[in-house]
Amino acid sequence: MSQPAFPGSVSRSDPDLTDRQRQVFAALVMLHRRAAGPVGSETLALQSGIPLSPASIRTALAELEGMGLLERPRTSAGRVPTAGGFELYVRTLLEPDTLPAGILAEVDRALLSSTRDIEHLLNEASRLLSSLTLQLGLALAASLDDEQVRDIELASLDRRRSLMVLNLGGASVRTVVLELESPLERDQLVMVQAVLRERLVGRPLSEVRERLATDPDLARHSAVRVVARAAMAGWSRPVSTQRFAAGAMHIAEHPEFASSAQLGSILRVVEAGRPLDRLMMASVEGEVAVRVGVDEDRALAGCSLVSYALPGTVRGAVGVLGPLRMDYARVLAAVDAVGSRVSELL
């Protein structure tokens, strides 16, 4: 089972690399990320800037392969990092990156404009992560059924449409657009709001849904009955795990996923949620974690998952899924920036 890797962490089992081996290994990872294919000693000698002869580079490559950090795909003369090699690179050789101030400002503007609604915020987070990394952006929040409703607000959109805002724990909300079967005036909505607050505030969200559908005291008021029916029609299913993904077109462009069957398998796993939901939230809250080679599902074996478990009252996470050779420095910086900002807004 893949374990989360944290940049800067070391293990007693880590190979003791010489400076030459470190140079060659880091250069090969960089060139492989750009070329998406095996890298040979001649390419390293010409393009890496390492002050070593091709013979010395070949010796270092053979040593790294013997340590299990590199492998030769099929009969290629070049080598590629193994999943274990990428994992060691992330923990011990990765140089931290930061997003430019202009991009951070754009992240702030985009998330702030998505309102306080959890669904809008997570959807925008997944879109931002995909745009920033050119990978598959992910965001999710665990079921809100157990969240306590702190307040209920009704706002008129027009005579036959209203907005119900359910304020939950923290600063998060759940909104439902109400298509009313008969028009209600603003003073009627004020009365309904007062009744709903009296009957429903302080109860878990799951119980609020149930009472809207079955509470006889609510059914006695005609205006309340209209709102309750509209709420159940617009809120027709339990609030299960909310999952958002953006950027399928980006991973489709990677040669690793050129096969439609392979790409389809990845997207089906993303849509199903398992095991990504569990892996994204099974980490240290408020820290970026990397899982290299997600072996919990065969379809994800060629993928890495970079995730940020959100601290605070809403259990959730944001992350990026992409090929093993992804630009880890850029992806970690993006996930950390978006994750920390989302957690502040929830």
| One-character DSSP codes across 39-62 | B-HHHHHHHS---S-HHHHHHHHH
pLDDT, tens digit, for every residue of 164-194? 888 876 556 777 888 899 998 889 999 999 9
Q: Which two three-digit tokens encode residue 186?
A: 């603003």
pLDDT of residue 77: 77
Coil vs helix vs strand at 98: coil
Q: Which two three-digit tokens encode residue 160?
A: 């036959």
In whole angstroms, how large is the CA radius of gyration of the chain?
25
With cut-offs at 50, 70 and 90, classify the pLDDT of residue 137.
very high
pLDDT of residue 295: 78
pLDDT of residue 69: 97
CA atoms within 13 A on the CB side of 154: 30
Mean pLDDT score of the chain:
88
pLDDT, tens digit, for every residue of 40-71? 999 999 898 888 888 999 999 999 999 999 99
Coil vs helix vs strand at 268: helix
* Predicted TM-score of the model (pTM): 0.74
Amino acid in the structure at residue 237 = R
Whole-number Å distance between alpha carbons of 235 and 164 = 11
For 80, list phi and psi in degrees, rounded to 5: -130, 155
Which numeric CATH code is attached to 101-142+241-345? 3.30.450.40
pLDDT of residue 192: 92
Q: Does domain 19-93 have CATH number 3.40.50.1820?
A: no
Higher per-residue confidence, 242 vs 266: 266
Cβ 175 vs Cβ 165: under 8 Å: yes
Whole-number Å distance between alpha carbons of 210 and 334 = 40
Whole-number Å distance between alpha carbons of 230 and 50 = 68
pLDDT, tens digit, for every residue of 301-337? 889 999 999 887 677 899 999 999 999 999 999 999 9
The pLDDT of 202-230, averaged and rounded, is 88
Whole-number Å distance between alpha carbons of 129 and 341 = 12
| Spatial CA neighbour of 38 closest among 20, 2, 66, 65 | 65
What are the CA-CA distances from residue 307 to residues 66, 139, 221, 231 (Å)?
31, 9, 48, 34
What are the CA-CA distances from residue 56 to residues 41, 44, 52, 113 (Å)?
9, 11, 6, 55
| Spatial CA neighbour of 142 closest among 263, 286, 282 | 282
Whole-number Å distance between alpha carbons of 149 and 222 = 23
If one counts every other C-beta atom within 10 angstroms of the C-beta of residue 110, the result is 16
What are the residue ranges spanned by the domains of the chain? Answer: 19-93, 101-142+241-345, 151-234
Whole-number Å distance between alpha carbons of 117 and 219 = 28
134: which DSSP letter?
A: S
Going across the sheet that includes 173-179, the strands are 151-158, 161-167, 173-179
Which numeric CATH code is attached to 151-234? 3.30.390
What counts of helices (H) and strands (E) characterise the chain?
A: 14, 10
Q: Which two three-digit tokens encode residue 124?
A: 């925008």
Instruction: Check whether 5 has a pLDDT greater than 80.
Output: no
